[in-house]
Amino acid sequence: MSLAIIDAREWQNVFDLRTGAKIVEESPLLGMVREVQARRPYPGDMDSSGNRWVSDTALDLMNRYDPSFVFLTYAQQFFSGRYSIQTEKEWGDAITDLYREVERFINLSGFTPVIVGTGDMTPFVDFIDVTQLKGLVLATHWSARYAGLHEPSSGDLKYLDAHSGIERIVHRDDFLRLFAESSGDRSRVPEYLLVAKEGYMFRTVGGAFRRVRRVPAQSFFIPVATEMGEVSTITGIRGLIDSGIGKRKIALIMVEGIGLRDFPWASQRCDNGREWFYHEPGDGQYLTISTGRHQLFDYPTGYKYFEEDAEKKEFPFSGYFRSVPEDTLAERYDVRSISVGNRSMFMHMATGTDISIECFARNLFNQGTMAVIHRMNKI
């Protein structure tokens, strides 16, 4: 059983990750993780010390658990770039701060880093208004490029075809064909995938209305900084890390909102998709890196996520995840592993590490932190 420990500030509870049932359990490992959480309250998505929290929490946990593999995500610049940073100078400063923070972690830990940029950000240009369509358009608000279109009328398709912000409209069959090897329940994939040009975002019913300043930029390639070997594709990062595990201590470090343009380390260029498709920062990209296979159809863009939100849904702390994904990066490692991140709540699902600690934030509201312990048998 995987345990979820929620720290809601001065108040902790332990749950069964799958059922959400409260659990009364004590063990030295559990106690250690609870203490780390109590010592490291999350400062908030928009707080300037959000990235420092990632390093400090990871180092604290590493001191006590002695892992050989660490999976980190630094996302504070992604949130502030998205919602508040307005000038190029401020954005440059945010990248400098990120660089210093990651270097500080590498120096203090002594781990061999593999640093991956998830893609650049670009100023928001305009909305593609799809609220007036007869059909239903759904998108996660983190996505700029993609939206799912359900039950369109011919008028809808005409309108979209003529819209200057639309790059292409892809029929589900063509999307499925492009990633024929990708697993997942294909029935969830919407009839059409709408693809926006760079800088555009879909204005859907159901949008969140914090004013967005920057959105994910066109990222057919992403940067990877590593001295462990050559890598040319997003699905190759997994093999690179697998080959080093057991030989040295490795830190896979994801830096959100940074791509080839802004990446402050010497890097190799990795493809980040296929033909017209590239991954935007988010759980699909993480799962692709983690499993070494493109993961697109388990929770496809624009599917009717709300239909599966019924009572007694399993994994209540894990957003729309219905199960723990299989064959993730650290799942089969014999060595100890941890992950820490401030992007959102999919680290514990996407990394496969023994222990993860992530911020528990909903729409930027800071609810505290969540730790997940997937296994206790390595101490």
Partner 1 sequence: MRCNYCEWRCELAGGDFGVCRMYIEDGGAIKERFPHSWSSCIPSRIESIPFYHVWPGSRSLVIGTCGCNFSCRYCSNGFVAKEDPGLVFDGMITLTPAELVRKARQMGCHNIVFNVNEPAMSFPTLVELAEVAGGAGIPMGCLTNAYTTEESTELLASIFSFFNVGLKGLSAGFNREYLGIPSAGPVLRNIRRLAATAHVEITTPVIELANDNELDEIARFIADVDPEIPWHVFRLLPEHEMKEARYPDIDAIDRALRSARKLLPYVYFHNFVGSDWVNTICPGCGATVIERFSLGCGGDRLHSFNCDGTVCPDCRREIRLHGVKVAWNAGEVRP
37 touches partner 1 by CB under 8 A: no
311 touches partner 1 by CB under 8 A: yes
25 touches partner 1 by CB under 8 A: no
Could you give the string, one character per residue 43-72, with x where binding to partner 1 holds by CB under 8 A and - elsewhere?
-x----------------------------
Stretch that binds partner 1, among 51-59, 94-102, 127-135, 238-246 (CB under 8 A): 127-135
Q: How far apart are CA 88 and CA 318, in angstroms?
A: 35
Stretch that binds partner 1, among 2-10, 93-101, 158-166, 277-285 (CB under 8 A): 2-10
Residue the block writes with tokens 């208004």: 129
DSSP 8-state code for residue 248:
B
Chain-centre distance for alpha carbon 173: 26
DSSP 8-state code for residue 91:
H
CB of 306 to partner 1, least distance (A): 5
306 touches partner 1 by CB under 8 A: yes
Nearer to partner 1, 150 or 274 (CB): 150
- Write b or e for each residue in 332-357: b if 16 or more Cβ atoms lie within 10 A of its Cβ, otherwise e: ebeebbbbbbbbbbbbbbbbbbbbbb
Q: Which residues pair with 371 in a beta bridge?
A: 5, 357
210 touches partner 1 by CB under 8 A: yes
What Å distances lie between residue 267 and 48, 65, 222, 232, 235, CA to CA?
26, 31, 9, 11, 16
CB of 350 to partner 1, least distance (A): 20
Stretch that binds partner 1, among 66-74, 166-174, 230-238, 309-317 (CB under 8 A): 309-317
15 touches partner 1 by CB under 8 A: yes
Q: What is the largest CA-CA distance in the chain?
A: 63
Using alpha carbons, select from 314, 316, 324, 312 the residue that is nearest to residue 362. Answer: 316
Strands (E), 131-240: 136-138, 146-150, 166-171, 192-196, 200-203, 214-216, 221-226
Which residues are within 8 A (CB) of 110 and not within 5 positions of it... i.e. 6 or more apart?
Answer: 249
154 touches partner 1 by CB under 8 A: no
Which residues are within 8 A (CB) of 224 and not within 5 positions of it... i.e. 6 or more apart?
Answer: 114, 115, 116, 117, 231, 237, 267, 268, 270
When binding is defined by CB under 8 A, the residue of 35, 66, 93, 151 that contacts partner 1 is 151
123 touches partner 1 by CB under 8 A: no
When binding is defined by CB under 8 A, the residue of 18, 20, 168, 271 that contacts partner 1 is 20
Stretch that binds partner 1, among 15-23, 182-190, 217-225, 267-275 (CB under 8 A): 15-23
Could you give the string, one character per residue 324-363, with x where binding to partner 1 holds by CB under 8 A and - elsewhere?
------------------------------------x-xx
Nearer to partner 1, 353 or 366 (CB): 366
When binding is defined by CB under 8 A, the residue of 103, 129, 242, 327 that contacts partner 1 is 129
227 touches partner 1 by CB under 8 A: no
Phi, psi of 308 (to 5 degrees): -105, 20
Computed from CA positions of residues 22, 28, 33, 35, in that sequence, does the dihedral angle turn out positive or negative?
A: positive
24 touches partner 1 by CB under 8 A: no
CB of 130 to partner 1, least distance (A): 10
First CA to last CA distance, the chain: 17
89 touches partner 1 by CB under 8 A: no
CB of 321 to partner 1, least distance (A): 14
Stretch that binds partner 1, among 58-66, 109-117, 285-293, 299-307 (CB under 8 A): 299-307
DSSP 8-state code for residue 105:
H
Residues of the shown chain interacting with partner 1 in the complex, contacts defined by CB under 8 A: 6, 8-11, 13, 15, 20, 22, 44, 129, 131-132, 136, 151, 203, 205-211, 304, 306-307, 309-313, 316-317, 360, 362-363, 365-368, 370
